[in-house]
Amino acid sequence: MEKEKIVIEVPSKVLHVEHAQCPRGHSLMDSAVPINGYPSIKVVIQYGAIRGNIHLDPIYGSFHNLFDVDIPEGVVVEMFCPACGGSLRVEHDKCDFCFSPMFALYLPNGGILEGCLKSGCHEHKLVLVDVHEQLGMVHGHDQIQLLM
């Protein structure tokens, strides 16, 4: 069966990301800085000469992100893996809401979590590449938790 790319709508705050990676497979999870009781997702953020760490809220649809640096509202930033410095920006997709570039976090089982790179824009989506996984996700939250 051909693999298809599926974008699904998941209700906010029903799941949290447990295993996010950069495109080269480095874990981005930081248990030293929990947010909402779960390990946060640590990435490097850059805007012009401003560069620092940001801890992303691992709860899907929640945005209690912790910034080490001040990023002005409404600007488009770059995001990098803290381990390898690779960009997390994706070339193939734009934000549905503001048409800015998106970043991607890679999840187990082929899932991809995409988010908008414009500061203050909270557009995000979950992209899956396997039809059967997608069916699993539709049928129960347990499956969603396993996927993440």
Adjacent-strand bridge partners of 35: 38
d(CA 146, CA 96): 27
Closer residue to Zn ion in complex, CB, 3/97: 97
- Residue closer to Zn ion by CB (options 21, 143) is 21
Q: Measured between alpha carbons, how far is 1 from 142 in angstroms, rounded to an integer? A: 25
x/- map, 89-118, Zn ion, by CB under 5 A: ------x-xx-x---------------x-x
Tell me the β-bridge partners of 94.
Answer: 101
Under the criterion CB under 5 A, does residue 24 sit at the interface with Zn ion? Answer: yes
Position among 18, 78, 93, 123 found at the interface with Zn ion (CB under 5 A)? 123
Burial of 32 by CB count in 10 Å (0-12 exposed, 13-18 middle, 19+ buried)? exposed
Q: Which of 15, 22, 59, 113 binds Zn ion (CB under 5 A)?
A: 22
- Please, which residue, 88 or 147, has the CB nearer to Zn ion? 88
Q: Would you count residue 18 as binding Zn ion (CB under 5 A)? A: no
Instruction: Classify strands 50-56 and 101-106 as parallel, antiparallel or unpaired.
Output: unpaired
Helix (H, G, I), strand (E, B) or coil at 15: coil
Q: Which one of 3-11, 20-28, 53-61, 124-132 is the stretch in contact with Zn ion (CB under 5 A)?
A: 20-28
The interface with Zn ion within residues 46-85 (CB under 5 A) comprises: 81, 83-84
